[in-house]
Amino acid sequence: GQYTFAATMEHGGAPSAGRLTFYASEAPGECTPLTVAACGIDSRVINWLHGKKIEVAELGQTPAGQRAVILVGDLNEANTTSETHSELLRRVVQGSTAIFFYPSTFRKGEDSTGWLPLENRGRLTTFSDWLYHKECVAGRHAAFAGLQAPGIMDWDYYGPVLSNRFFEDQDTPADVAAAALDLEGQALQVQRDLIKGGDLPAGMAGGQLNWETLRPLIEARQPIILGQGKLDGHTTSVASPLGRRFHPGPRWGGQVRRVLEDVAEMQAAAAQVVLVTRQAARLADLLAERGGPAPDTRPLTPDTWHLTPDTRRLTPHPLRLVQGQFDEGWRFSADEGELILLTDAELFGWGRPRTRRSRPTRAAAPESFFADIQPGDFVVHMEHGIGRFVGLTKILVDQVQRDYLHVAYAQNDKLYVPVHQADRLARYVGPGDAPPALHRLGAADWGMVKARARKAIEDIAEDLLKLYAQRETLSGHAFSVDTEWQRELESAFPYVETEDQLVAIEAVKEDMQRPRPMDRLICGDVGYGKTEVALRAAFKAIMDNRQVALLAPTTVLAQQHFHTFSQRLKSFPVEVRMLSRFRSRTQQRQTLQELAAGQVDVVIGTHRLLSQDVIFKNLGLLVVDEEQRFGVRHKERIKQMRAQVDVLTLTATPIPRTLYMSLTGVRDLSTIDTPPAERLPIHTMVGPFDETLVRNAILREIDRNGQLFFVHNRVQGIQQMANRLRKLAPEATFEVAHGQMPERDLERVMLAFAEGAFDVLVCTTIIESGLDIPNANTIIINRADTFGLAQLYQLRGRVGRGAVRAHAYLLYDKHKAMSPEARRRLEAIEEASDLGAGFRIAMRDLEIRGAGELLGARQHGHIAAIGFDLYVRLLAQAVEELRQRGALPAGSFDASLWVAAIGPAVQLDLPVEAGLPASYVPDEPLRLQLYRRIAGLKTPGEIDEMQQELQDRFGPPPAEVQNLLFQVKVKVLSERAGVSSIGRDQNQLVVRSDALARLAPERLQYQLGHSARVGAHALWVPIDAAGAWRQRLLHTLDILTAGMAGG
């Protein structure tokens, strides 16, 4: 891996305040946390880092709460034999989030998987090590007596390190050695390119393990080959018969009832059973319900499970339940009985990707949801209108330096916005490409424009009121509470749900159990688990004898949903059918007949489902995937169905019309912002088409046993492009897929690709929506400049759905001119490469395509006049006022998820230096985003959470940052108390509020004490040098708030 600095780091550890802390060594056994010099790190690395403007921190002891540790050195990927080294790594990983760096052959922006098993396991060990722990030599089972190595070779550990091709179709050591040498040659060439480009220090040794080093390490570990055939020279006379004692474990495919029954039988037969699963808590609950003996749930270590010296038997306990994961299990036959290891592969039919981190992945940093404002952008200020943002600037006011947002207006007018009011500024997003006219400061025209827009918006709010009333009067089916089968289905989900997923699932179930029809939008990024939400809702409907229809925009996506639903529901008596052009006329006719007769529970299809001849006996739920992909006629049909049945809509990139409706509460909205724990951001590269680049991308992906999509969106030339690619990379295998192929051929190709039968799928945008091929982790998009932004985002989302770093290459023709809109699209998709960027993509799409086109002609003029952001805020405010008057039903307004109504500004002038210093948050765009986010905080609790978050991300906040948070807290309390401004008059603070006239002055004076002075429209609080005025001011605002509430 290279050092790649990012303003926000959502994976791994984030260097605090720009300093990197090093554990550095060239000898693994000497890797101790001392100074860089004492560890003997190569001076060339230090010089190279300095050349990259990276500060190298000398190390003492690791400070408490250390968040980032960098391991640097001339290290080999398998140099892990030193107990000192592995124990250090274990300690580092337990106490912090570690980033392991060493000179390697990986390209810029990638990370190496070489050290990941150490992150995962803490010390280099395998499940088999526990069977004969070194401290229990005397107690080994007789079958293990001849083994003296520290552990059995774990093939899955070395596979990713070397390249899985080493152990694939290699029958002899010579074949394996040839594959190793081939990979070494490729690695050397890549390393030379990196050094030539300045991305690696010259002369540094590579990190790729060579075969001569690996072979003795493998032989020293005396591997037992389990079902992998014989590797000559790698099995000993002791290990071979032992391997024959291992057998594959039973498989249940998610039938949890049978799992529990069979495990009980195994226990009755005196077998010892170990369940290693990511669903340990669920299985423990289900076991407890059956009333059997409680399983042992202690962590599985050599101390809790090994051969005891006195009995030469395994520590007696019939059932152990361990939270964790292995790729697959086995049955080990011993004279004393069986030892059975069961994993998610046996229990549920598939396994989890290998865990990379113990630290939970969080949702994208919240400030990333603010539309980025760059110098030169048009912006809208709530009170002053449209101007042009110049940038952040410092101004000296009363001997205090403060940050301001500089905005230029017409006729050279300038506005300096205090950072605590940054939320009153928004990027201008209008309906077309024409730049807006700038307003003059202080002129009346902005007030008139805003008043006209507000009047139109109030009319819309009234329309919303009618829609709400209509929704509330509709009657539908109230579904029953969850059944035992529902719990069983959910227990068989082999992944750990994210918190957002669970909240969305609960919201959907609550909607379904109400008598009015559900109309909920699930908005979540690609691969964030929306399908599982829909599947559980579908099963809930089936449990009430209602039918379910799932509508997908493409045949390929319908096929994938059919496969997912069929696999997950195969343990239950549920009939799942597909209705699309992948089915013959006879099959379609039969499905329609059985659908009308109620013999089909779930039907999945394309717009064919909306035809008049599709008749349901008892439709209860309609699931619509990516509704924006359907035409107007199809949307009208969906709208008709909405009034009759529960509707659940799934979307990854909400088009702004859908976004707009959700923002204003017309639809209930659930968002899934948190990525799955294993997800990594996709490395995105935009550049001209280059044959060398394409060839290297293909070879690098197939070298790690992966597959690729090559998107070429012209059917006429797709075969020629496939032939060109075959010549370019003859090592790979290619197939072509496009929408004009015969149905059977398209289905055959797609299924073959999903099964890994070939390397590269050359295709059109038929793969755009929802397709999930976990092994495909590189996508190359040819002529990316001809695609829409949301389309590019969807295409990129076809890769990176597992624990492997994915790559997206967006290529354009350097010989053809590119439009400004296309250039902006490519810039936007490259910028939005972090996880959870769908919302920002929708906002940029709104800007590039034009808001008026998507939100309707009726509002075109008002959006042009005040911008989309202020338009939605005013609409939110109008709807909120209706809700407060009781005109809207409680809980029907979901706008607070994304945008809050904004009240009048509070003017503050406090005697403090407040801001985010560049030394604390060096990245200016991030600093601006944080200012806007901090200014938008609404409660003292949110402000306290922000202080803790800043400390976690950037280190202890300096005085200026604490003052900024104090300033925002004063603003929040002032808004509650009805205060319009707080200024200074010599050594006093002047708190102004028209609400004071409604309060009893004598009582107020008594509550504030003699040091304060109360007037008709203002009160005065003294400023003291000791700083006690801060608490006095907060106390004053609390008293005013209580008085307002009482009045």
Reply yes or no on whether the pLDDT at 558 is more than 50.
yes
What pLDDT band is residue 926 in, cutting at 50, 70 and 90?
confident
Can you list the alpha helix ranges (DSSP code H) found in 552-655? 555-569, 585-596, 632-642
878 compared with 191, residue with greater pLDDT: 878
Residue 260 has φ and ψ, to the nearest 5°, of -65, -40
When pLDDT is cut at 50, 70 and 90, the band that residue 779 belongs to is: very high
| Residue 798: partners with Cβ closer than 8 Å, 6 or more residues away | 526, 709, 767, 768, 771, 773, 776, 779
Helices (DSSP H) in 16-136: which residue ranges?
A: 43-51, 83-95, 116-121
Q: Are 977 and 1040 in contact (CB under 8 A)?
A: yes
What is the pLDDT, as a whole number, of residue 929? 81
Q: Are 194 and 107 in contact (CB under 8 A)?
A: yes
What are the tokens at 215?
Answer: 């072979």
Cβ neighbours for 748, distance < 8 A, ≥ 6 positions apart:
none
User: Are 1012 and 948 within 8 A, CB to CB?
Assistant: no
* Better-predicted residue by pLDDT, 877 or 935: 935
Candidate from 22-36, 169-183, 507-521 with smallest mean pLDDT: 22-36
If one compares 593 and 398, the residue with the highest pLDDT of the two is 593
User: Are both 474-672 and 683-834 of the same fold?
Assistant: yes
* 767 against 101, higher pLDDT: 767
Q: Which is more confidently placed, 35 or 654?
A: 654
pLDDT band, very low/low/confident/very high, at 709 (cuts 50, 70, 90):
very high
pTM: 0.59
What does the pLDDT look like over 304-362, one tens digit per residue? 444 333 333 444 456 778 777 666 777 777 666 677 888 887 887 655 443 323 333 33
Token pair of 410 as six digits: 């017409």
Stronger pLDDT, 567 or 678, i.e. the higher one: 567
Report pLDDT digits (tens) over 130-189: 233 333 333 333 333 333 333 222 223 233 333 333 333 444 455 556 666 666 676 676
Q: Which CATH architecture does the domain made up of 474-672 adopt?
A: 3-Layer(aba) Sandwich (3.40)
For the segment 120-126, the average pLDDT, to the nearest whole number, is: 30
Lowest mean pLDDT among 55-64, 330-339, 875-884: 55-64
Confidence at residue 205, expressed as pLDDT on a 0 to 100 scale: 52
Model confidence at 841, pLDDT cuts 50, 70, 90, reads low
Question: Rounded to an integer, what distance in angstroms lies between the CA atom of residue 182 and that of residue 180?
Answer: 5
Tell me which of 213-227, 231-245, 393-407 is least confident.
231-245
What would the pLDDT profile of 71-80 be if each residue is shown by its tens digit? 333 222 323 3
Mean of the pLDDT values across residues 11-15?
Answer: 32
Radius of gyration of the chain (CA): 32
How far, in Å, CA of 49 to CA of 885, rounded? 62
Phi, psi (rounded to 5 degrees) for 267: -65, -40
Q: Whole-number mean pLDDT of the chain?
A: 70
Domain residue ranges in the chain: 16-124+154-217, 221-359, 474-672, 683-834, 908-1046
Which pLDDT score is estimated for 326? 66
Please tell me the predicted confidence (pLDDT) of residue 1028: 84
Q: Which amino acid is at 86?
A: S
| Candidate ranges 189-198, 343-352, 596-605; pick with highest mean pLDDT | 596-605
pLDDT value of residue 498: 84
Q: pLDDT at residue 4 above 50? A: no
pLDDT of residue 335: 62
* Cα(495)–Cα(502) distance, integer angstroms: 12
Name the pLDDT band for 728 (thresholds 50, 70, 90): very high
**pLDDT the model gives residue 778:** 94
pLDDT at position 204: 55
- pLDDT category at 226 given cuts 50, 70, 90 is very low
Q: Transcribe 768-819 into DSSP letters.
A: -SS---TTEEEEEETTGGGS-HHHHHHHHTTS--SSS--EEEEEE-TTS---
Q: 835: pLDDT confidence band, cut at 50, 70 and 90?
A: low
Which range among 130-134, 200-204, 253-257 has the greatest average pLDDT?
Answer: 253-257
The pLDDT of residue 994: 83
Distance between CA atoms of residues 386 and 296, nearest Å: 66
Average pLDDT over residues 22-26: 32
Kindly indicate the confidence band of residue 245, based on its pLDDT and cuts at 50, 70 and 90: low
- Note the pLDDT tens digit of each residue in 983-1019: 888 888 999 988 787 788 888 888 888 888 888 888 9
pLDDT of 452-467, one tens digit each? 888 887 777 777 667 6
Tell me the percentage of the chain whose pLDDT exceeds 70. Answer: 62
| pLDDT tens column, 530-546 | 999 999 999 999 999 99
Per-residue pLDDT at 217: 52
pLDDT of residue 783: 94
At residue 566, does pLDDT exceed 70? yes
Confidence of residue 576 (pLDDT cuts 50, 70, 90): very high
In this predicted structure, the answer to whether residue 551 has a pLDDT above a threshold of 90 is yes
| Strands of 1018-1022's sheet in order across | 907-908, 981-985, 988-992, 1018-1022, 1013-1014
> How much of the chain, in percent, has pLDDT values that exceed 90?
18
Record: fold of 683-834: Rossmann fold (3.40.50)
Mean pLDDT is lowest, of 31-40, 280-289, 971-980, for 31-40
Rounded distance between C-alpha atoms, residue 825 and residue 835, angstroms: 18
CATH of 908-1046, picked from 1.10.520.10, 2.30.31.70, 1.10.8.50, 3.90.1150.50, is 3.90.1150.50
Task: Round to whole Å and give the CA distance between 246 and 875.
Answer: 67
Which of 235-239, 526-530, 544-548, 882-886 has the highest mean predicted lDDT (pLDDT)?
544-548
Crossing angle between the packed helical segments 656-663 and 838-849, to the nearest 10 degrees: 110
